[in-house]
Amino acid sequence: MAVTTTDQPEGQRAELEDPLVIAGRRFHSRLILGTGKYASNDEMVETIRAAGAEMVTVAVRRVDLDATNRESILHHLDPAEFFLLPNTAGCYSAEEAVRYSRLGRETGLSDWVKLEVIGDQETLLPDTAQLLEAAETLVAEGFTVLAYTNDDLITALRLQELGVAAVMPLASPIGSGQGLLNELNIRLIKRRLDVPVIVDAGVGTASDASVTMEQGVDGILMNTALAEADRPVLMGHAMRHAVRAGRLAYLAGRMEKREWAVPSSPLEGMLA
Amino acid sequence: MAVTTTDQPEGQRAELEDPLVIAGRRFHSRLILGTGKYASNDEMVETIRAAGAEMVTVAVRRVDLDATNRESILHHLDPAEFFLLPNTAGCYSAEEAVRYSRLGRETGLSDWVKLEVIGDQETLLPDTAQLLEAAETLVAEGFTVLAYTNDDLITALRLQELGVAAVMPLASPIGSGQGLLNELNIRLIKRRLDVPVIVDAGVGTASDASVTMEQGVDGILMNTALAEADRPVLMGHAMRHAVRAGRLAYLAGRMEKREWAVPSSPLEGMLA
Amino acid sequence: MAVTTTDQPEGQRAELEDPLVIAGRRFHSRLILGTGKYASNDEMVETIRAAGAEMVTVAVRRVDLDATNRESILHHLDPAEFFLLPNTAGCYSAEEAVRYSRLGRETGLSDWVKLEVIGDQETLLPDTAQLLEAAETLVAEGFTVLAYTNDDLITALRLQELGVAAVMPLASPIGSGQGLLNELNIRLIKRRLDVPVIVDAGVGTASDASVTMEQGVDGILMNTALAEADRPVLMGHAMRHAVRAGRLAYLAGRMEKREWAVPSSPLEGMLA
Amino acid sequence: MAVTTTDQPEGQRAELEDPLVIAGRRFHSRLILGTGKYASNDEMVETIRAAGAEMVTVAVRRVDLDATNRESILHHLDPAEFFLLPNTAGCYSAEEAVRYSRLGRETGLSDWVKLEVIGDQETLLPDTAQLLEAAETLVAEGFTVLAYTNDDLITALRLQELGVAAVMPLASPIGSGQGLLNELNIRLIKRRLDVPVIVDAGVGTASDASVTMEQGVDGILMNTALAEADRPVLMGHAMRHAVRAGRLAYLAGRMEKREWAVPSSPLEGMLA
Amino acid sequence: MSASQPDGAIEIRLNGKPHMATAEQTISQLLEQLGLDPRVLVVEMNRQIIRRTELGEIRLEAGDVIELVHFVGGG
Amino acid sequence: MSASQPDGAIEIRLNGKPHMATAEQTISQLLEQLGLDPRVLVVEMNRQIIRRTELGEIRLEAGDVIELVHFVGGG
Amino acid sequence: MSASQPDGAIEIRLNGKPHMATAEQTISQLLEQLGLDPRVLVVEMNRQIIRRTELGEIRLEAGDVIELVHFVGGG
Amino acid sequence: MSASQPDGAIEIRLNGKPHMATAEQTISQLLEQLGLDPRVLVVEMNRQIIRRTELGEIRLEAGDVIELVHFVGGG
């Protein structure tokens, strides 16, 4: 973990060189954002900028031929400013997810895909059997696969064996905002994997992001926590700070918890 | 709550005008730091700067006449850069705390005091009866009193009645690093008080700070979480972000938690 | 801790001699119940019996001269079956609480009182300053005082010094059902006090009772968790088991938590 | 949920008819125990009796031909008193687990098997892909399969489709004593499955058992929490009460949590 | 303190409300009149608790403040 | 596969709905007719992805199943 | 598979270790020799489970792989 | 309170320990002797705080209890 504080006169503006590297590509931000459910495209873009995210996910869908506005989200998200990561949201089988992945790649932006295979409509939990099957196919076809999965270590290890570029376990169900329900599982996954671990789904507010990063993971992907905040742009700022806070605290190495108190002021030198 | 995003081209650097105001004095940072237990004075100062704190606490102690180095901490903390807040740490009675407060004021820096009256050596929990007595005396003597107390609403209300400038309930025992043990009590205190509420003691890592600020409180005072981190300066950066993250998330208004999932990508437009 | 398993042929019915002793009086059950808010007196009595409680609290109120039914709760709770503990619920000053205590004693049942002095209508949190004053007066008048207080160790120690028979810290606000919000404070109080510690208020369901008893406290007082359950009698049975479960687990000494797994079946003897 | 309180004069001894039914077989106790890691066979049997368990798991291992004591655990556990459930602990593939299942069945006691396929030595987490394969084979061979799995709903649904008699998600890793780490996942599984859900592994103390049963699950299997307690027999009693407490509280329907307090004594009738 | 009525009736304060009682009436008589069982209640008169044994001896006077209390369900 | 219309019009399936196209029309022509910019969408025909460079060469036939997809906001 | 010994002894693999048995010996005889009660164990021979009723019929041959298993404490 | 020494030396109590000072010495002189900068410390004499401006005026007497305090790191 090579962390260097950049040389500068004022401590409070010090920034750290601590990039997120996935498949050889460097990102300065460890926060990846979804682009769904915003009230407007302007709000979405402003929120992403507030959050400082460089990578954002997009979905592959039919052009709506009945709508007057048929414009792609590319009109609002300049690929020169943001790295676009197509997802396979809404796919319920390996076959379907592979089809969407190929369509996403054909836009010509990159061969990256955020692979999701959903197993249940109510919970949107992943179907890990189908996920593994799709991951195998896509890796063979040269895709850079970031795999959305549950918080099961065994599945995460298997995904890594298959050659995915990053494993993306959930904190809690998509859009639930319940935060990190099982810290242990996320820690286990991070400790055992070599590829980056990005926690995807379930973060609801800033402290959820901090506590998640404090487990040592490499990044977080979120969407609803921003899009459904009362003030999404402000929440974007909050999340930018929260992810950095959690990351830095992890690197700084927290104090031990104690059952008893320890004074912060000296015991000696008290007056008689 | 007048929060204004400063006008600027790049969202990711936007900062908010959201000062902490205590007794009419404005602070840009909502983080107040103790200055005890650092490995060196240099590390202390560097950590405070990394954390962006403007107000720091100091203890009043005898000059050590046996030591070769008898220098005051004022040699390291320039009152032009930092606002120094003398505390009464180590005092076990109202009388003692009043004596230390007067000595602290006599340095001529200000009439502010962080008032502590400890009730028990093992836990360093406050003696609220003595605290109220000392607060009454000091307010009458013109002190600006910031009162370290437990998380009891009734005591907090009584302190406010007595005219303290800020109420400082604990998150958990001093130096324990256990984080915010009782979110409800802190929320109750914040909702009912008009004077600023600064959570003092118990924060252990960045997410503790975020979750504390998310309760709506006005600021946090910490010491051990920084001084005992493996790398205090890095933890200073972490805490600067964490306090801001929690504050912004509070202002942004978090999404509701849900038991069920909600997709982030559209359900319509799937392929046949 | 002298715990003896009674001699008997079938393990599953084994009961333990582990009485709660307050002011020299032995109770077989560590569960004390309030008698308010039940749909009917019959349901109240049936619930108390299901819970196996021997001590129940009652309030002192004016006879309602306008009501046709002016009967005392003594018509339903036979003092030969239950030990009645008058409370001072609803009192906001030491003076008022002392007055109610004297009225309660005058019924001639006992000189015990569950002393409450409320500090705030919204939260029903105790006013510890008034509480200490009332406790001092009542102890001097020969009362056996069981003092409802917050979870502050310093106040608890002071109550013990004043001579109360039991200290009754809250788990969370009266009627809130939030469970034990601050395990540490309850553990600290129990470790430091010699008089019995009975957690009073806030328990919402069975596991709250178990986790509370596991901190080592001597008993629990509850009311709303039973009276507002969908089926109070069933919840009475649940709480009887829950208090015993938590107590026994405390006495049994739980296993250490581990970050890693340990098999329950032997590693040797696997087939080739 | 047909729950009937048995007719009887004294409420405190009332027991409920609320059997656990798996594959048509009724058990009075919802607590299933492992038989590993006890200091002695006597302690094991006494603990099981204290816990009131009817079903206990056993492992299939080679007879140790080098030991003087080659006796089977059947010398200590009379199949007339306890229902023995062979497990496949220690198996790392579907093939291995099927082999052990067949050997266990050949003892002639029953065709039940607690199916485990471990995916990782350090965490003992299940390999769900191998588990599903083994379950399919064993169901086809007429086994009554109780499948130890992780807390993933999708895998649980698939196991049910394959025809297992019960799904046994973990609370936390085997032998870790960390308790129920993800309440939501267990609730999701229980709500969606028709076959019994037995939480298996991770319970550490009584309140863990209560809180687990309060999610609505049908039973709990534990081993280390008893075998590694300081006093296993006492912990057996504790767990018997804890499982019943949690079950009854679930059936009784707990009160709603509130942020504010509600008095348990009447507001009317206060003195002037 | 307050005026007694011409016909021998006096006004007292009973459980917070004005109440007309007979002059010279004992507390026992008052309770009987109200149909209350003295064994399950406690009487406070002018902020003083009245022992059960004294209920038959103490006579009401105009302006007396009487509180009759008993146990009700409470937590 | 399906019958072509007398006047040279053919029916295809476009984004899940029946659509009348001109026989022998290229996909590029179809997109132009629909007012769609080929640079921000992807065309799938009969489950095969059509490269952007081929859009001008491939001609529609009756019964072709065409999917026009692009990126939308999603998480 | 493996060589039988001159004196009628054969080598088998028993619970993972080499073991010398008598040629033509039945499994029942082996168990008796080992002092084991066939009612509380299960015999697997060359990956096949041997029913209890067949133990007296099946004769050992050199190279046989025998597993004798039973229930032990486990969770 | 305590005896002054023959040679004009007096014993005071300084920061909790006995200390020999010169009779009639001012507090300023004491501080100078000790090498302490009066601008960053506070002087308490016999439980009374001494203003910085008075340090040069007040003279030590035998038995005086002097406390010299300053700020140190604390939380």
Which residue among the candidates B37, B114, B190, B257 is catalytic per the annotation?
Answer: B114
**How many angstroms away from the CA of B127 is the closest CA of chain C?**
6
Which of A123, A158, A185 has its CB closest to that of D188? A123
Q: Is C229 exposed, middle or buried (0-12, 13-18, 19+ CB in 10 A)?
A: buried
Q: Verify whether the Cβ–Cβ distance F72 to B266 is below 8 Å.
A: yes
The answer to whether B210 and B240 are in contact (CB under 8 A) is: no
Q: Verify whether the Cβ–Cβ distance F49 to A59 is below 8 Å.
A: no
Which of B119, B126, B152 has its CB closest to that of C125? B152
Dist. CA A128–CA B270, nearest whole Å: 21
Amino acid, res. B9: P
Nearest to B212 by CA among B187, B192, B238, B189: B187
Res D98: pLDDT:
97
* Phi/psi at B23 (5° precision): 50, 40
What's the ipTM? 0.89
Span between the terminal Cα atoms of chain A, in Å: 50
Tokens of C175: 């009627």
Res F41: pLDDT:
92
Nearest to C74 by CA among C89, C84, C87: C84
The answer to whether D151 and D172 are in contact (CB under 8 A) is: no
The answer to whether D177 and C255 are in contact (CB under 8 A) is: yes
Dist. CA C206–CA C240, nearest whole Å: 9
Dist. CA G70–CA G41, nearest whole Å: 5
The answer to whether A59 and F74 are in contact (CB under 8 A) is: yes
**How many angstroms away from the CA of D239 is the closest CA of chain E?**
29
Amino acid, res. B194: D
Listed in sequence order, the residues at least 6 apart from B109 whose beta carbon sits closer than 8 Å to its beta carbon are B79, B84, B86
Name which residue leads in pLDDT, D2 or B252: B252
Listed in sequence order, the residues at least 6 apart from D257 whose beta carbon sits closer than 8 Å to its beta carbon are C176, C177, C178, C204
β-strand partners of D144 = D112
What is the per-residue DSSP string for F20-71? EEETT-BHHHHHHHHT--GGG-EEEETTEEEPGGGTTT-B--TT-EEEEEEE
**Considering only CB atoms, which chain B residues are within 8 Å of F65?**
272
**Considering only CB atoms, which chain A residues are within 8 Å of B89?**
263-265
The answer to whether B76 and B47 are in contact (CB under 8 A) is: no
Res B264: pLDDT:
86
Q: How many residues would you count in chain E?
A: 75
Q: Are strands C55-62 and C31-34 parallel, antiparallel or unpaired?
A: parallel
B194 touches chain D (CB under 8 A): no
Which of D264, D271, D272 has its CB closest to that of E75? D264
Chains in contact with chain G (at least 3 beta-carbon pairs closer than 8 A): C, D
Res D260: pLDDT:
84
Res D12: pLDDT:
38
Chains in contact with chain D (at least 3 beta-carbon pairs closer than 8 A): A, B, C, E, G
Res B5: pLDDT:
43
**Considering only CB atoms, which chain A residues are within 8 Å of D182?**
181-182, 185
Which of E40, E49, E74 has its CB closest to that of C87? E74
**Considering only CB atoms, which chain A residues are within 8 Å of B239?**
245, 249
What's the Cα-to-Cα distance from G34 to each of D73, G63, H29, rounded to whole Å?
A: 18, 19, 101
Dist. CA A26–CA C100, nearest whole Å: 72
**Considering only CB atoms, which chain D residues are within 8 Å of G70?**
60-61, 63, 72-74, 107
What is the share, in percent, of chain D residues with pLDDT greater than 90?
83
Listed in sequence order, the residues at least 6 apart from B29 whose beta carbon sits closer than 8 Å to its beta carbon are B20, B51, B52, B53, B54, B55, B240, B243
Nearest to D60 by CA among D91, D99, D97, D104: D104
Q: Is the dihedral of CA H28, H29, H32, H34 positive or negative?
A: negative
Q: pTM of the predicted model, to two decimals?
A: 0.90
Helix (H) or strand (E) run with residue C148 in it: strand C144-149
Q: Which of B3, B12, B87 to mutate to test the interface with A (most CBs of A within 10 A)?
A: B12
Dist. CA A125–CA D154, nearest whole Å: 7
Instruction: Over range C129-137, report the average pLDDT.
Output: 97
B184 touches chain C (CB under 8 A): yes
Tokens of H54: 């008075």
The answer to whether D117 and D135 are in contact (CB under 8 A) is: no
Q: Verify whether the Cβ–Cβ distance E74 to D264 is below 8 Å.
A: yes
The answer to whether H8 and H66 are in contact (CB under 8 A) is: no
pLDDT digits (tens, 9 = 90+) for D194-229: 999 999 999 999 999 999 999 999 999 999 999 999
Nearest to C213 by CA among C174, C184, C244: C244
Mean pLDDT of chain A: 91
Tokens of A149: 């999965």
Which of B87, B99, B108 has its CB closest to that of H74? B87
Span between the terminal Cα atoms of chain H, in Å: 38
A265 touches chain H (CB under 8 A): yes
Q: pLDDT band at residue E6, thresholds of 50, 70 and 90? A: low
Listed in sequence order, the residues at least 6 apart from C172 whose beta carbon sits closer than 8 Å to its beta carbon are B184, C178, C179, C180, C181, C201, C202
Q: pLDDT band at residue G5, thresholds of 50, 70 and 90? A: low
Nearest to C125 by CA among C155, C60, C169, C191: C169
**Considering only CB atoms, which chain A residues are within 8 Å of H16?**
271-272
Does C1 have pLDDT greater than 80?
Answer: no
pLDDT digits (tens, 9 = 90+) for E36-58: 888 889 999 999 999 999 999 99
Helix (H) or strand (E) run with residue C240 in it: helix C232-252
Helix/strand/coil for G44: strand
Q: Verify whether the Cβ–Cβ distance C178 to B188 is below 8 Å.
A: no
Q: How many residues would you count in chain C?
A: 272
pLDDT digit of tens for each residue in chain B (272 aa)? 444 444 333 433 445 689 999 999 999 999 999 999 999 999 999 999 999 999 999 999 999 888 777 778 888 999 999 999 999 999 999 999 999 999 999 988 899 999 999 999 999 999 999 999 999 999 999 999 999 999 999 999 999 999 999 999 999 999 999 999 999 999 999 999 999 999 999 999 999 999 999 999 999 999 999 999 999 999 999 999 999 999 999 999 999 999 888 888 888 888 88
pLDDT digits (tens, 9 = 90+) for A19-72: 999 999 999 999 999 999 999 999 999 999 999 999 999 999 999 888 777 778
C188 touches chain B (CB under 8 A): yes
Does G27 have pLDDT greater than 50?
Answer: yes
Res F5: pLDDT:
52
Res H5: pLDDT:
53
**Considering only CB atoms, which chain H residues are within 8 Å of B102?**
49
Does D35 have pLDDT greater than 60?
Answer: yes
Q: Verify whether the Cβ–Cβ distance E16 to D272 is below 8 Å.
A: yes
β-strand partners of C59 = E72
Query: Is D257 in the active site?
Result: no
Nearest to H10 by CA among H24, H31, H28: H24
Instruction: Scan for tokens 């949590």, then name that residue.
Output: D257
Res E24: pLDDT:
87
Listed in sequence order, the residues at least 6 apart from D13 whose beta carbon sits closer than 8 Å to its beta carbon are none
**How many angstroms away from the CA of A270 is the closest CA of chain H?**
9
Dist. CA C124–CA B62, nearest whole Å: 44
What's the Cα-to-Cα distance from C43 to each of C35, C52, C64, C228, C229, rounded to whole Å?
A: 10, 14, 22, 12, 12
The answer to whether B43 and B233 are in contact (CB under 8 A) is: yes
